[in-house]
Structure 1
Amino acid sequence: MQSCSRKKDTFVSRNFHALGTRYNILYNGELALERGKLAINDEFTENFWELLPIERMNISEDVFLPGETRNADFERAEEKAIKAIQKHGMNINGKEKNYQIDEAYLLLGKSRYYDQRFVPALAAFNNILNKYPTSDKINQVKIWREKSNIRLDNNRVAVKKLKRLLEEEQGVIEGQDLADASAALAQAYMNIKAKDSALTQLAIAAEHTKVKREKARYHFIRGQLFNEFGLRDSANVEFDVVIDMHRQIPRGFYINAHLEKSKNFDTTEGDLLAFEEYLAELEENRENRPFLDKIYYRIAEYHRQQLSDSLAEAYYNKSLRKTTSDKYLRALNYETLGNMYFDRNIYKTAGAYYDSTMTAMQPNTKSFRVIKKKRENLEDVIYYEGIARANDSILHIVSLSKEEQLTIYAAYVEELKAKAIEEEELREKEEQKRKNAMASSPTNPRIASTNVTKGKGGALPDAGFNQNSRGGSFYFYNPSTVAYGKNEFVNLWGDRKLQDNWRLSNDRAGIKTTSPDVVAESKEEDTRFNPDVYLASLPTEQTEIDSIAKERNFAYYQLGIIYKEKFKELELSKIRFESLLKNNPEERLVLPSKYNLYKIYLEFGLNRKAEAMKVDIVSNYPNSRYAEILLNPQSELAKDESSPEFIYTKLYEQFTNQDYIAVITESEKQIKRLEGNDIVPKFEILKASARGRLYGLEAYKEGVNYIALTYPNTEEGKKAQDILDRALPDLEKKDFISDDKAKNFNVVYQFSKNSDEDIDEFVKILDEEVAKIEYFDLSTSKDVYDENTIFVVVHGLKSIQGAEGFGVFLESGEKDKRGRPVKPRITKEYFAISSPNYAIIQRHKNLNAYLKLQ
């Protein structure tokens, strides 16, 4: 073996190590690499809903520690490449004599690339370029290096170097190498959004590749790009190339090429009959069964374009019934069906479809959040549409004469009777079927008794009977016939007690007796077939009818706002606002409804109606904010002192300044003035918070409960309900905690608002005294306790003894240079309290209870 040393540059050594590298180590490494590539190919799922990538490869976000690998085959390939370099490398005098080592480095780079370790892969490819510039694989190495750069988002570097390679090696680089280089360059162009340049490179790649799967992919991507550019004819040419390859390529490309081509069909000028036959042929082809979900979806989309909603809905549901792993398609089907039901005002069904849509989507994505928001908004629509429909129905019936009302309810009662009879007949038929099935079963003794066979012992039961050890055919020896007999007895006589004269007794379990109570109950049940009962339930008092009309009008207003602002359904919004104005609504709803109609008319281009509405608003409401907006559209009304937003902002500032009485008074005023406006719940929350700070937790709880009940479908209403469910149970605890469990303590000085004491002056002096204390991080605050009491508080003390001692220290005052006491500046009474207990007395207004414990 000395003659085959890696240190000797002889013919035998060179060829020994080269052959050993090629046919032993690299051969096994390349086999492992191919197995790994097949695994990557199997894991990858084509997403034909988006622009396909040039290379089939899922990029994982997982981070692996050193020594870990995603795929054992790539790890083995890398090990083989490293072994070939270490065991057979012949670096003599700075020059590699084994002509297979560049192949080993290429295998090393590829295995790292497919294992998604692109930086080490780049290092391997650069090593070849630096050490083996004359390698016959040099062009492949340059291509793989730029593919690694593309994966590292160095797209512009890759474009520059691949263009230079194709220009310098024009006529030299050809075949599959030319296809790979062009495909890589196309991917780089697509990454930097130069998709028109990518088209040219994809054409070159498709022309020179020897792999049918790649050729189909390149043509399909070209078709997708042409569609993005709006060049439908050019796109169809590319899809036709894919279709013509048929069984030479994966079926997914063939079917999706058909579907993409069908999307480009012009339904206004094309032959609709021929196109429908084309879609039907795709549907009926047995080879297309794995793709029926997509085919059904495409057919549904076509019928929806043709306004055949019933056919479209049928095909959307057929698509859903097909088992599919395509969650995006399922989400599309559910969402489209939800939109169809929404457009038909069937909101509950639409909401159910939106719920299903979200189950098929990735959470925390933009599309998921859009559907979730739409579903939440739909709750408001369902709520208000239910009110509007019910109240409209009641008001319509009330407006009719007694004779007309009686006619309507008589017809309704007849429908109920017919339905009840139909249900009873159906129940009897089912019962009869059950009895017939029992009578014809082998366990019926009357039938079974005839199923006997003659044997040596005479008449014996059929094999269907279970015989006891005696071998007889007596009735009670057969458990099946006994069970049947018991069942028949119960059906005929009921569950009788074991007693004398059982036939004459009425004590039968399961059988209803005709007691007076039962008769009365039967009569009561029949009230649903009595029209007079429905007539009696109608409201008769005018105040009650007015209340129903008022509730209906408010629901119409809310629906108009929701459709306009949240769903952009301007037609539905227009209908609701126009219906509202015809129903003589309260004055507070008239002006905002007219303004919203004005905006909708402008959107629809109904300029005459818009102008008429503008004149109406400006003439009849000249001092309103809406008139100001119409007359001066450029004004910044958000800063206008009359705007609800400005008023709310100012009130909130007053709240932070603890001016709670003013906040409560002004909030009540604005709630009445702005009733029907979306900002009203915000004023309610502010008012409830101010009442809680001033009057305690019970007042806050009352306000929050009112908001949760009155505005259940608003953000504030939901927040209020959450407070009731989660926060209030903890806040309601009134028990004071012991001082040894607290970490922070306060010194509190109590003032009455009606006293002559200057609170601000006291706070000024206190701040000066506190500033002299350097060994504690102290602060002061002025807190409202109730309508008549204000606390001045020193915060930051660390023990109850320290808090009490601090108060004594302030009372004792300072000493002069001779040690004589100086008149103290603060002599007011105080009490010490821990921070948790201070929060409790502020929350429950139970200061007296705390002081009694001291």
Structure 2
Amino acid sequence: MKKLLAALILVMLNWACSQQSTRPAAVAFHNVNAKYNAIFQADRLLISLTNKVREEKKENFSNALPILAPIDTSFSQSYAKEIANLVRKATLVIDRHQNSRFVDDAYLIIGRGRLLQHDLTNALETFKYINSIEHDPKTQQSALIELATIYLYQADYPSAQKVFNFIAENPMNANQEQHLLLVQAFAYQKQNAIAKSIPLLEKAAPRVKNRAERGRLFYILGQMHQELGQTAAARKAYEQCLKQKSSYSLTLHAQIAILSLTENIPGLEKLVKDPKNQDLQSDIFLAIGQIHFQHKDYELARKNWENGGTNNPNKGELYFQLGQLFSNQLKDYRNAANYFDSAATFLPSQHSQYQLAQKLRTQWGEFARLDGSIQLQDSLLKLGQRSESDLKAMYEKIQKSKKAKKDSVQLTIASSSNVSLATFTRRPSTPEQQSFYFYNDQARVQGQQEFSTKWGIRTLEDFWNRKNKQAAVLTDAPLMPSNVAQTNMVGESAQTQDSLQIWLNSIPRTEKQQADIQKKREKALFDLGKYAKLELAKNDLATNSLTHLLGDYPLTSFEAEALYLLYLSSDKPKTYRQLLFDKYPNSYFKQAILTLEFGGLTEGKELEAQKNYEKAFAQFKSGDFTACIAQADLLLQSFPGSKWEDKIVFLKAQSYGGLKDFDRYKKELKQFEQAYPKSQLIPEVKALLEKFTQNNR
């Protein structure tokens, strides 16, 4: 009987605790278990993760801070287990307490967990689902606010606005009102409507309970006012940020902002000297450089920005600014190319300037290649003018200098191995120097010496390790001065002679060799001038290169196009226009100038050009090539810029082929390729040139 009674009680308890039951006892049981077990633990874990997001957030104070910063993917990876545990705990409510009133709260926590995982797609679906189930309206409002935030992250502004409209139809509590104000301010910020964002942010910022987050929002307010030129309001906002006494980094940047607004360079320099700011000196130098830049003192701006590059985690942005400074204000294009290359290397892929930096790296990399080619040809030509004895003396001097440097490094390495750890001191290496071989001078020079000890001094060429090199290969030995002293002198002499001869052979000494170098230099000057104008839009660089071309090579084959490019880029266009018209009256580049000056043709003129083109084409078909050429020249003069122009020029080139004037035929086709790169006839022109080349090999 007792066993039967116990079984009956157990069945009744199970029935009462069923999550499908709607009886008050069952619902109360599951409400208590859901709230004070899974939901309680999940809430605590969510608060902990949210605080860690705030603490580990890496702010870039040189740019405008976003009101709502997206979760960094690195955070999602670092705390993957904790976030998964958060989602698991919230899921328990759905699995085990379906009849409780905390199911929608569980889904809200799961959605926020998906946000922490940077899984926007599933987070979006979760918040949508919350609004499809009939539960607490306040939870639904919170889900809608989170939904709008995700749409803003995805730049889907119409969908976000629809959500805002829906939210406005339902009541909210104080926390939700404050959160909504921030999200709406963020929406205007994302759309660059700063003036509309400011009032919302001014209303929301004082309501934020967390002191660090409140200080951050006041700092953003200062940035917004500063962007609109509202200096007094910006300073007031920065001062409010200082009053919050949040993180030291934020407080320091607020101080920097206030001193920058007043252009107080002595105050900024005082901050640089403060030992507490050693890790943030780069940002202070950036601010000082910006003040000098605004006053057009570009050299001081450069100096401070270069100082700001030391140990700067945002060096990619700094290098980008320096690249712009060197290319636009200082006109130092070689340094500009180097800085744009560094900017593309160090800027993170999610940065707003990343794509532009990659493009500029490619553009200025081509400039560096062309400029380097000109420098190389100039150096070779200068060396080619010197006698063999001078060259040998120069080579020996260079080798002695290299050997002295290597011996010095060897002595340093040998001495350091005999110095006790207690007395050995050196400047601490940066993380880059510790991890990257080429930043470590000692390791790099040691590697160079080990290579030259084994292989000798070799030029960079294919098959550098071929057997007929007269280098004496030494056994691997500890890098010590005593071992260097025991080097085989015969082998060393052979190495020196062999390397000297290779170097001498690379210098153009005969007339033919020097003519080849001059030809390369001529083309490089033209290519650089053309590239500077058409790709870099640097008129001064183009003018300098092209005037050097015409001055050094008065008979250059590039003269017509060079004059056209100078007409476009020089501050004396009429001079080059007249030269082009006088020397090349039938040039395509003359037609291009006329097109620029007179613009497009009227419909009537186009019809007239078409009729005359058909006349020239009939002459070509009948074999009257001379008359066709004359008609084509008349058309080009009479109808500059016609939509038939490329066809007329192509017909003229074909006519020279019909006359068997193959040199002129080839020249006309090549000029067509240069003048009309977007013409539909380009594939046919290239095919004709290729066929012509094959037939004349």
Please indicate the TM-score interval, normalised by the length of the shorter structure: 0.5 to 0.7
Q: CA offset at residue 554 of structure 1? A: 4.0
Greater mean alpha carbon deviation, residues 305-314 or residues 75-84? 305-314
Asked if structure 2 preserves the Cα contact closer than 8 Å seen for 1:588 and 1:675, the reply is no
Structure with the bigger percentage of helix = 2
Q: Does 1:241 align with 2:240?
A: yes
Q: CA offset at residue 204 of structure 1? A: 0.8
Identity %: 14
Kindly report which structure 2 residues correspond to 1:590-609, keeping only aligned pairs within 5 A, or say none.
Answer: 590-601=559-570, 606=571, 609=572
Asked if structure 2 preserves the Cα contact closer than 8 Å seen for 1:335 and 1:354, the reply is yes
Asked if structure 2 preserves the Cα contact closer than 8 Å seen for 1:32 and 1:74, the reply is yes
Q: SS of the counterpart of 1:86?
A: coil
Rounded to whole Å, the distance in 2 between the matches of 1:226 and 1:235 is: 5
Give the structure 1 partner of residue 129 of structure 2.
123
Q: CA offset at residue 205 of structure 1? A: 0.5
Match of 1:283 among 267, 272, 276: 272
Give the structure 1 partner of residue 148 of structure 2.
149
Structure with the bigger percentage of strand = 1
Structure 1 residues 419-457: Cα deviation after superposition (integer angstroms, max 9, x where no partner): 88877888898999999999999xxxxxxxxxxxxxxxx
Match of 1:385 among 344, 369, 374: 374
Rounded to whole Å, the distance in 2 between the matches of 1:647 and 1:489 is: 75
Rounded to whole Å, the distance in 2 between the matches of 1:317 and 1:567 is: 24
Rounded to whole Å, the distance in 2 between the matches of 1:675 and 1:13 is: 85
Rounded to whole Å, the distance in 2 between the matches of 1:570 and 1:18 is: 75
Rounded to whole Å, the distance in 2 between the matches of 1:593 and 1:343 is: 22
Kindly report which structure 2 residues correspond to 1:704-743, keeping only aligned pairs within 5 A, or say none.
Answer: none
Asked if structure 2 preserves the Cα contact closer than 8 Å seen for 1:259 and 1:298, the reply is yes
Q: Does 1:571 align with 2:540?
A: yes
Q: SS of the counterpart of 1:201?
A: helix
Kindly report which structure 2 residues correspond to 1:259-270, keeping only aligned pairs within 5 A, or say none.
Answer: 259-260=256-257, 264=261, 270=263
Q: CA offset at residue 23 of structure 1? A: 3.5
Structure 1 residues 509-552: Cα deviation after superposition (integer angstroms, max 9, x where no partner): 94669xxxx89x99x989x9xxxx99x9877x7x9888766654
Task: Call closer, same or farther: CA 1:182–1:51 in 2, change over 3 Å.
Answer: same
Structure 1 residues 66-111: Cα deviation after superposition (integer angstroms, max 9, x where no partner): xx99922331342344367436x3xxxxxxxxxxx2x552343133
Give the structure 1 partner of residue 86 of structure 2.
74
Asked if structure 2 preserves the Cα contact closer than 8 Å seen for 1:186 and 1:197, the reply is yes
CA RMSD of aligned residues (A): 5.8
Kindly report which structure 2 residues correspond to 1:51-200, keeping only aligned pairs within 5 A, or say none.
Answer: 51-58=64-71, 71-82=83-94, 85-86=97-98, 89=100, 101=101, 105-116=104-115, 117-125=123-131, 127=133, 130-132=134-136, 138=138, 141-152=140-151, 153=156, 154-164=159-169, 173-174=173-174, 176-191=175-190, 194-200=193-199
Task: Call closer, same or farther: CA 1:20–1:229 in 2, change over 3 Å.
Answer: same
Match of 1:647 among 647, 650, 654: 650
Give the structure 1 partner of residue 606 of structure 2.
none
Task: Call closer, same or farther: CA 1:548–1:14 in 2, change over 3 Å.
Answer: closer
Greater mean alpha carbon deviation, residues 671-680 or residues 112-121? 671-680
Q: CA offset at residue 177 of structure 1? A: 3.8
Opposite residue 591 of structure 1, the aligned amino acid is: A
Q: Does 1:559 align with 2:528?
A: yes
Rounded to whole Å, the distance in 2 between the matches of 1:78 and 1:294 is: 43
Asked if structure 1 preserves the Cα contact closer than 8 Å seen for 2:526 and 2:549, the reply is yes
TM-score w.r.t. the length of structure 1 is 0.52
Opposite residue 239 of structure 2, the aligned amino acid is: D
Rounded to whole Å, the distance in 2 between the matches of 1:310 and 1:384 is: 28
Rounded to whole Å, the distance in 1 between the matches of 2:544 and 2:163 is: 58
Give the structure 1 partner of residue 614 of structure 2.
none
Give the structure 2 partner of residue 448 of structure 1.
none
Give the structure 2 partner of residue 690 of structure 1.
691
Q: CA offset at residue 382 of structure 1? A: 2.7
Give the structure 1 partner of residue 345 of structure 2.
359
Opposite residue 344 of structure 2, the aligned amino acid is: M
Rounded to whole Å, the distance in 2 between the matches of 1:690 and 1:664 is: 12
Give the structure 1 partner of residue 206 of structure 2.
207
Opposite residue 179 of structure 1, the aligned amino acid is: Q
Q: CA offset at residue 61 of structure 1? A: 13
Rounded to whole Å, the distance in 1 between the matches of 2:224 and 2:419 is: 69
Opposite residue 202 of structure 2, the aligned amino acid is: A
Give the structure 2 partner of residue 624 of structure 1.
587
Structure 1 residues 96-135: Cα deviation after superposition (integer angstroms, max 9, x where no partner): xxxxx2x5523431332332323223332553xx4445xx
Task: Call closer, same or farther: CA 1:199–1:306 in 2, change over 3 Å.
Answer: closer
Q: CA offset at residue 647 of structure 1? A: 3.1
Give the structure 1 partner of residue 460 of structure 2.
none
Task: Call closer, same or farther: CA 1:51–1:162 in 2, change over 3 Å.
Answer: farther
Opposite residue 597 of structure 1, the aligned amino acid is: L
Structure 1 residues 299-353: Cα deviation after superposition (integer angstroms, max 9, x where no partner): 45556666777766665555444273x474476378569859994354xx76555
Task: Call closer, same or farther: CA 1:338–1:418 in 2, change over 3 Å.
Answer: same
Asked if structure 1 preserves the Cα contact closer than 8 Å seen for 2:87 and 2:113, the reply is no
Q: CA offset at residue 679 of structure 1? A: 6.7
Rounded to whole Å, the distance in 2 between the matches of 1:142 and 1:431 is: 72
Kindly report which structure 2 residues correspond to 1:420-819, keeping only aligned pairs within 5 A, or say none.
Answer: 510=488, 552-583=521-552, 585-586=554-555, 588-601=557-570, 606=571, 609-618=572-581, 621-633=584-596, 634-635=599-600, 647=650, 668-670=666-668, 686=687, 689-690=690-691
Task: Call closer, same or farther: CA 1:673–1:214 in 2, change over 3 Å.
Answer: closer
Runs of 5+ in structure 2 lacking a partner? 1-8, 116-122, 421-479, 602-639
Task: Call closer, same or farther: CA 1:28–1:660 in 2, change over 3 Å.
Answer: farther
Opposite residue 26 of structure 1, the aligned amino acid is: I
Task: Call closer, same or farther: CA 1:244–1:433 in 2, change over 3 Å.
Answer: closer
Runs of 5+ in structure 1 lacking a partner? 90-100, 398-404, 442-486, 495-508, 703-854
TM-score w.r.t. the length of structure 2 is 0.61
Q: CA offset at residue 156 of structure 1? A: 1.0
Q: SS of the counterpart of 2:67?
A: coil
Opposite residue 610 of structure 1, the aligned amino acid is: P
Q: CA offset at residue 203 of structure 1? A: 0.9
Rounded to whole Å, the distance in 2 between the matches of 1:631 and 1:689 is: 31
Rounded to whole Å, the distance in 1 between the matches of 2:381 and 2:166 is: 73
Opposite residue 650 of structure 2, the aligned amino acid is: I
Task: Call closer, same or farther: CA 1:258–1:19 in 2, change over 3 Å.
Answer: same
Rounded to whole Å, the distance in 2 between the matches of 1:13 and 1:81 is: 14
Asked if structure 2 preserves the Cα contact closer than 8 Å seen for 1:69 and 1:115, the reply is no
Rounded to whole Å, the distance in 1 between the matches of 2:365 and 2:329 is: 16
Q: Which has the larger radius of gyration?
A: 1
Rounded to whole Å, the distance in 2 between the matches of 1:112 and 1:367 is: 35
Task: Call closer, same or farther: CA 1:260–1:596 in 2, change over 3 Å.
Answer: farther
What count of residue pairs does the alignment treat as equivalent? 557
Structure 1 residues 606-634: Cα deviation after superposition (integer angstroms, max 9, x where no partner): 4xx33444444445544433444444431
Opposite residue 163 of structure 2, the aligned amino acid is: A
Rounded to whole Å, the distance in 1 between the matches of 2:222 and 2:372 is: 47
Asked if structure 2 preserves the Cα contact closer than 8 Å seen for 1:35 and 1:73, the reply is no
Give the structure 1 partner of residue 220 of structure 2.
221
Task: Call closer, same or farther: CA 1:510–1:583 in 2, change over 3 Å.
Answer: closer
Rounded to whole Å, the distance in 2 between the matches of 1:375 and 1:362 is: 20
